[in-house]
Structure 1
Amino acid sequence: MCGITGWVAFERDLTAERGVLEAMTTTQTCRGPDAGGIHLEPHAALGHRRLAIIDIEGGVQPMTVEHDGRLLAALTYSGEVYNHRELRAELEAAGHRFRTRSDTEVVLHAYLEWGEHMAERLNGMFAFAIWDARHEELLLVRDRMGVKPLHYAPTRDGVVFGSEAKAVLAHPEVRAVVDLDGLRELLAVTRTPGLTLYRGIHDVRPGHVVRVRRQGISMRRYWALEAREHTDDLDATVATVRALLEDIVHRQLDADVPLCSLLSGGLDSSAVTALAAKALRAAGAGPVRSFAVDFAGQEENFHATELRPTPDGPYARMLAEHVGADHRVIELDAADLSDLAQRTVALRARDLPSGVGDMDISLLLLFKGVRRHSTVALSGESADELFGGYRWFHDPKTVAADDFPWAVHNLTSLAGQGAGPREALLDADLLRKLDLENYRKARYHEALAEVPHLPGVTDPVERRQRELAYLNLTRFVCILLDRKDRMSMANGLEVRVPFCDHRLVQYVFNAPWSMKTFDGREKSLLRAAVRDLLPDAVADRVKSPYPVTADPHYPVLLRQELARVAAEGTSPALGLLDRRGLADMLAPDTDPQSVRLGVDLALDLDAWLTEYQVTLEL
């Protein structure tokens, strides 16, 4: 896993612009701490920072291929292609010769053989750029589910691009400008494919290829969720899910560096850990390593709620003992979570103010602890979106609502009982301008219009659950995948997500809702597919979301920091905040927990506007 960046300009000589490329590439050092490189052509400049995973010695980038001393193509690549061995064999049979064992070289030769349609042949998580010197054109390619990020900004004579917005913003022609739509994307709790917070900077949409030529920029979609008739019965469906998961996890254990799993004790991470343990045993390898996050005093301070009925720790330990994992716990305390230095690292990793506070920082610190022992980790992310695990799939009121289900379900509850909305501290006039409810609903209806339906299906439950699955897989999971990518790569840790394998996603997407809930519960298919690998208590555990600290000192520390910012009076964020609301939040008789998310967002806005020198055009 790596960080990539580059610049294409058809009206200037970029061989004289090494300094700009070095500045852009340096912003990606956290993503690739092992090595860096730059490739310069008259009209194309590619930068790369490497986190070495496969073929440590051979996979140096940017990678080029020549014929008779003439450059054919150059590649800067981030990601993993899990079927690279099969593709290598096919390419060798077609006459290609390889110098390395790396999947990077396979991707480069796949392009030479199949052109941009090689994207359809890749199984994995990836974001890469190929400069075709023969035709003087650039291709930007992103994986089907958007696991790996890739941004670009058109310029007057080309484009600049990078894994993260910070690489693009390092270019002298790109400015950090945020308008009302940018703030709406931040606050509406959805992610519109192709958009970022920054005006003029775009995402390469998941499952798309962007082509940059002298004539301009064009896009092609190479993959999308499709409506296919599901003809397997229940037993066959369960067996297919199990077979796919075994193949996926086996493929994703491929690494030349230490590897582990992230284990919360929930069904998803337990399934991945158990499957990894099984595959490693079959290969005669050592026990799977597993890591969990916990907070000082969590079990003592834990109070069961409807949202979080059980703490994670006991279940993670139970699963680790059951599969013989080498299990470790990364314990954090309130001081860790409120440390301004860590908040700044999290902000720089995200390039935006997340406003979810310790959920970002705890993930960042968990990955920091994991990175001391492993370079690659397997995660259970995306199973809830795929198998229908969230409560909003099962609540009739939420299902029937004309809005994104997670917005109706009120994500602010993730911060703990009694926490108010993130935007509670924003200026009332600004909130009226933003009109978040109507913006979100407009985006909701755009997404709804994309949903592929099977002709002739009239059951309203099946039809609506297909819609909810599509919304979750295209508008919600990307938020979590981006968060996980940024917090992990800030520590030079690669996190793999088996549940995002497109074969599994396409198959389960088309399984009827009646199968996904055949035992009357959430995630019935997944539970049935892996039950034999898990203790019953883990298999039957009710879902509990990613933990937040229960330490009562944490919101107090947050509010103290915001009081300091307010007292100084120089923060650019103060112009976005409601002064009376700010005073109320800082009042001694206000419960710090009730304003926790608003305080978090205010502190993030302060750091972001200052750090990134953002120009607000509202």
Structure 2
Amino acid sequence: MCGITGWVDYRRDLNTERAALAAMTDTMSCRGPDAAGIHIDGHAALGHRRLAIIDLDGGAQPMVFDRAGHPGVAITYSGEAYNFRELARELTARGHELRTTSDTEVVLHAYLEWGAGMVEHLNGMYAFAIWDARTQELLLVRDRMGIKPLYFHDTGDGVLFGSEPKAILANGLLPPVVDADGFRELFAQIKSPGRTYYRGMREVQPGHVVRVRPEGVTEHRYWALEATEHTDDLPTTVAHVRELLEDVVARQMVADVPQCTLLSGGLDSSAITALAQRTSRAAGGGAVRSFSVDFSGRTENFRAEALRATPDAPFVADLAGHVGSDHTDIVLDTAELLAPDVRSAAITARDAPTWGDMDTSLYLLFRAVRERSTVALSGESADEVFGGYSWFHDPAVVDAPTFPWLAAIDNTGTMSLLDRDLAATLDLGTYIGDSYAAALADVPRRDGETGHERRMREISHLHLTRFVRTLLDRKDRLSMAVGLEVRVPFCDHRLVQYVFNAPWSMKTFDGREKTLLRAAVSDLLPTSVLERVKVPYPTVQDPGYHAALQDAVGKLVADGQAPALRVFDIDVMRAMAEAPPSGDPLQREGLESVLAGNEWAERYDLSIEL
């Protein structure tokens, strides 16, 4: 896992721009603390920061393949190709000579063998760039589900690209400007394919290849979910889900560094931990490390909330004891969550406003995990794949003519914070409606599919192509900010494609959420975990935390010059800062939004152009 960046300019020799590329590469140092490399070849410059996971000695990058007297092919690569060993055997049989045991070299030779068609052969999470000096072309490639991030800016004479926006912004050619479309993306709480908050910057879409040539930039989609007939009966389907999960976890436990799992005590992370433990034992290894997050006093003084009916700790203990993992609880206190350096680190990691303590606590969890492990397996994305959110099972939400999560979770609180003139300019209702129509148009259909099955295919597709991408980006950015690689087995494209086409009636055959997953792993988990109702990621319940947020917002209002005053309604901000805490999560969400948005604007010296 690494950080990549680069610059292609067909009108200049980039050998004179080494300092600019070095500055871009340096922004990726957190993603790759183990090594740095730069490769410049005339019109192309590639940068790399390495987090060594596979072949610690032989996987240095950028990696170049050349023959005497012939132009070379260079790659800067981030991620993991989980089938690299099989590909290495196939390529060797085809005459390729591999000098290392790294997956990077395998991907490079896959390109030499199949060209851009190599993407059809890869299984994994990856984002990489290949410069082919023979054709003077650059390829930017992103994995099928968008697990690893990749951004680019079309300069007109080529592109700037990077794992994170900060790498592109460090070049200086693209100023950090947020316009109306950027604010629409920020406040609408949707993920429009390819769009970012920064004007002039785009995301390489999941399952896409961006090709850069002297004549311009083009995009090609090489993978998308397909609607096919599901012919397996229920027992066969359950068995195949289990078979896929065992294979996926085994593949994703290949690493030359210490590994662990992230454990919340819910079905998803518990299944991954149990499977990882079985895989380790079968290979003659020891107990798998597992880590969870909690807050000081939260378990003892827990207050049930609408979405969080139970604390995690008892279920974490049940699972860890049941499978015998080497478990560690990471317990955070309010002072840590409010520490200015931690909040700033989270904003810098995301290049955007954070989700308050949900982000700072995740950052702190990852930082603590990194002290003992370099790779972690996560249960992220199971809810999107198997239909785990409560709103999948709420008829009013399912039938609502908008994105399900917007119908289920009231986001009017944040919208009501906006300056009235800005709110009128953004017209978020129209933007969301247009985005929803575009998302529905992208849903694959089966002939003759009607009624509830048709609608649930739409709901699933919306989550797998819009909702999950925000969560994956959050997971990647906060983990890589401390040099921790987080792998997501539930995003294996074979599993996603298979479950996507299972009938909804099969996915809920016992009347509960995530039926197929529960059935597939029922023999691995304690009853308490199997029967637990889904609980989202935990948040701090300390009243002192809320009071500290109010105090900080009050100071912003008094300041009179804070960037937030250009975006949020000052009277609403003042009222939030003075109102007695109600226990309503929307009240705290508003405070967090103001503070995070203001710091983002200050830290990135944003220009706001509406």
Q: TM-score, normalised by structure 1?
A: 0.97
Aligned residue for 2:257? 257
Distance 1:3 1:176 in 2: 20
Aligned residue for 2:609? 617
Provide structure 2 residue ranges, at least 5 long, that are not aligned to the other structure: none
Give 3-state SS (helix, strand or coil) of 1:455's partner. Answer: coil
Preserved contact between residue 550 and residue 578 of structure 2 (Cα < 8 Å): no
Q: Which stretch shows the higher mean deviation, 426-435 or 375-384?
A: 426-435
For residue 360 of structure 1, what is the amino acid of its counterpart? D
Distance 2:453 2:305 in 1: 30
Q: Which stretch shows the higher mean deviation, 556-565 or 72-81?
A: 556-565
Aligned residue for 1:455? 447
Shift in Å at residue 336 of structure 1? 1.1
> Counterparts in 2 of 1:541-560, with a 5 A limit?
541-560=532-551
Aligned residue for 1:602? 594
Shift in Å at residue 564 of structure 1? 2.0
Distance 1:455 1:330 in 2: 50
Aligned residue for 2:467? 476
Alpha carbons of structure 1 residues 390 and 411: separation in structure 2 relative to 1, 3 Å:
farther
Aligned residue for 2:357? 358
**Cα deviation 1:95-129 (Å, max 9, x = unaligned):** 00011100000000000000001011100000000
Distance 2:215 2:435 in 1: 31
Tell me if 1:199 matches 2:191.
no
Preserved contact between residue 559 and residue 592 of structure 1 (Cα < 8 Å): no
Preserved contact between residue 556 and residue 592 of structure 1 (Cα < 8 Å): no
Preserved contact between residue 557 and residue 574 of structure 2 (Cα < 8 Å): no
Give 3-state SS (helix, strand or coil) of 1:507's partner. Answer: helix
Aligned residue for 1:502? 493
Aligned residue for 2:65? 65
Alpha carbons of structure 1 residues 111 and 15: separation in structure 2 relative to 1, 3 Å:
same
Distance 1:193 1:289 in 2: 36
Distance 1:246 1:71 in 2: 43
Alpha carbons of structure 1 residues 411 and 348: separation in structure 2 relative to 1, 3 Å:
farther
Distance 1:611 1:322 in 2: 46
Tell me if 1:5 matches 2:1.
no
Give 3-state SS (helix, strand or coil) of 2:341's partner. Answer: helix
Distance 2:548 2:470 in 1: 27
**Cα deviation 1:472-511 (Å, max 9, x = unaligned):** 0000000000000010000100000000000000000000
Tell me if 1:515 matches 2:515.
no
Distance 1:142 1:291 in 2: 29
Alpha carbons of structure 1 residues 359 and 391: separation in structure 2 relative to 1, 3 Å:
same
Shift in Å at residue 592 of structure 1? 7.6
Distance 2:433 2:460 in 1: 17
> Counterparts in 2 of 1:327-476, with a 5 A limit?
327-354=327-354, 356-410=355-409, 421-458=413-450, 460-476=451-467
Q: Which stretch shows the higher mean deviation, 105-114 or 602-611?
A: 602-611
Alpha carbons of structure 1 residues 588 and 239: separation in structure 2 relative to 1, 3 Å:
closer
Distance 2:250 2:92 in 1: 24
Alpha carbons of structure 1 residues 10 and 228: separation in structure 2 relative to 1, 3 Å:
same
Distance 2:532 2:172 in 1: 52
For residue 563 of structure 1, what is the amino acid of its counterpart? G
Shift in Å at residue 590 of structure 1? 5.6
Aligned residue for 1:540? 531
Preserved contact between residue 209 and residue 222 of structure 1 (Cα < 8 Å): yes
Give 3-state SS (helix, strand or coil) of 1:273's partner. Answer: helix
**Cα deviation 1:521-558 (Å, max 9, x = unaligned):** 00000000000000011111100011111111111111
Distance 2:407 2:562 in 1: 33
Q: Which stretch shows the higher mean deviation, 300-309 or 336-345?
A: 300-309
Shift in Å at residue 513 of structure 1? 0.2
> Counterparts in 2 of 1:211-360, with a 5 A limit?
211-354=211-354, 356-360=355-359
Aligned residue for 1:416? none
Distance 1:240 1:232 in 2: 9
For residue 554 of structure 1, what is the amino acid of its counterpart? Y
Give 3-state SS (helix, strand or coil) of 1:4's partner. Answer: strand
Give 3-state SS (helix, strand or coil) of 1:301's partner. Answer: coil
Shift in Å at residue 588 of structure 1? 5.4
**Cα deviation 1:390-429 (Å, max 9, x = unaligned):** 01100000000000000011165xxxxxxx7223322122
For residue 427 of structure 1, what is the amino acid of its counterpart? D
Aligned residue for 1:417? none
For residue 379 of structure 1, what is the amino acid of its counterpart? S
Provide structure 1 residue ranges, at least 5 long, that are not aligned to the other structure: 413-419
Preserved contact between residue 76 and residue 129 of structure 2 (Cα < 8 Å): yes
Give 3-state SS (helix, strand or coil) of 1:532's partner. Answer: coil
Shift in Å at residue 577 of structure 1? 1.8
Give 3-state SS (helix, strand or coil) of 2:254's partner. Answer: coil
Distance 1:357 1:121 in 2: 39
Give 3-state SS (helix, strand or coil) of 1:314's partner. Answer: helix
Distance 2:71 2:87 in 1: 23
For residue 58 of structure 2, what is the amino acid of its counterpart? G
Aligned residue for 1:415? none
Preserved contact between residue 425 and residue 599 of structure 1 (Cα < 8 Å): no
Shift in Å at residue 565 of structure 1? 2.3
Preserved contact between residue 61 and residue 75 of structure 1 (Cα < 8 Å): yes
Give 3-state SS (helix, strand or coil) of 2:521's partner. Answer: helix
Q: How many residues align?
A: 609
For residue 2 of structure 1, what is the amino acid of its counterpart? C
**Cα deviation 1:198-226 (Å, max 9, x = unaligned):** 11100000000000000101111100000
Tell me if 1:578 matches 2:592.
no
For residue 125 of structure 1, what is the amino acid of its counterpart? M
Preserved contact between residue 424 and residue 598 of structure 1 (Cα < 8 Å): no
Shift in Å at residue 560 of structure 1? 1.1
For residue 587 of structure 2, what is the amino acid of its counterpart? V
Distance 2:416 2:275 in 1: 43
Aligned residue for 2:137? 137
For residue 82 of structure 2, what is the amino acid of its counterpart? Y
For residue 425 of structure 1, what is the amino acid of its counterpart? L
For residue 614 of structure 1, what is the amino acid of its counterpart? L
For residue 577 of structure 1, what is the amino acid of its counterpart? F
Shift in Å at residue 579 of structure 1? 1.6
Tell me if 1:561 matches 2:560.
no
Give 3-state SS (helix, strand or coil) of 1:71's partner. Answer: coil
Shift in Å at residue 70 of structure 1? 3.0
Tell me if 1:112 matches 2:112.
yes
Preserved contact between residue 557 and residue 570 of structure 2 (Cα < 8 Å): no
Shift in Å at residue 306 of structure 1? 3.6
Give 3-state SS (helix, strand or coil) of 1:603's partner. Answer: helix
Distance 2:578 2:305 in 1: 28
Preserved contact between residue 169 and residue 175 of structure 1 (Cα < 8 Å): yes
Shift in Å at residue 591 of structure 1? 4.2
